[in-house]
Amino acid sequence: MSDQKPTVVLVHGAFAESASWNGVIERLGSAYSVVAAANPLRSVTADAAYLRDVIRGIGGPVLLVAHSYGGMVVTEAAAGDPTVRGLVYVNALVPETGESALALSAKFPGSTLGDTLVSYPVSSGGNEVAIGQDAYHTQFAADVSDDMAALMARTQRPITEQALGEGLPTQAPAWQTLPSWFVFGDADRNIPVAAHRFMAERAGARGTREVAGASHAMAVSQPGEVAESIIEAMRGVGA
- Contact indicator for 95, 168 with CB cutoff of 8 Å: yes
**Identity of the amino acid at 123:** S
Task: Tell me the longest C-alpha to C-alpha distance in the chain.
Answer: 49
pLDDT at 1: 40
pLDDT in tens, 90-127: 999 999 999 999 999 999 999 999 999 999 999 989 99
User: For the chain, which residues score pLDDT lower than 70?
Assistant: 1-2
pLDDT at 238: 87
pLDDT at 2: 53
Where is 8: in which H helix or E strand? strand 7-11
pLDDT at 239: 76
DSSP class of residue 125?
A: S
Phi, psi of 41 (to 5 degrees): 65, 40
**What CA–CA distance (Å, rounded) separates 111 from 107?**
10
Neighbours of 235 (CB within 10 A): 10
